[in-house]
Amino acid sequence: MSNKVKVRMLKLARDRIDCGRSRYICIALMGGNLNSEERQAAYNLRTDIMVLLEGYGSLDFWLRAKGFSVTLKDKEKLKQTRLNWIDHLIKEYSNDHK
């Protein structure tokens, strides 16, 4: 699986979260009409994300487990944290020449 496709999928997911169409990265990855290569990249990214979240179902739960106070009032902060994390993942996959 090309990292180029993963980066493209992460950018699409980022746009969906940024404009408010999606809240969660894994849901945003599956949005739209995806071809088979994009679906596979989205599936692989979702697997990678779940590993990074150490099995927690969302970033919210992972943050709480790590001792951060996260409430519904923190919606915008969580959104920005997700966007920052996607930016980090894009950078990682862009630098990884697999």
pLDDT tens-digit series, residues 72-97 = 688 899 999 999 999 999 999 998 75
Domain definitions of the chain by residue range: 3-92
Among candidate residues 78, 94, 73, 69, the one with its CA nearest the CA of residue 3: 94
φ/ψ region of 24 (left if φ > 0, alpha if ψ in -120 to 50, else beta) reads: beta
10 close to 89: Cβ distance less than 8 angstroms: yes
Distance between CA atoms of 13 and 30, rounded to whole angstroms? 8
pLDDT tens-digit series, residues 44-55 = 999 999 999 999
Q: Which residue is associated with the tokens 């894994």?
A: 26
pLDDT category of residue 1 using cuts at 50, 70 and 90: low
pLDDT tens-digit series, residues 4-51 = 999 999 999 999 999 999 999 999 999 888 999 999 999 999 999 999
Q: pTM of the entire structure?
A: 0.90
Q: Cα dist. 69→1, 38, 73 in Å?
A: 37, 35, 11
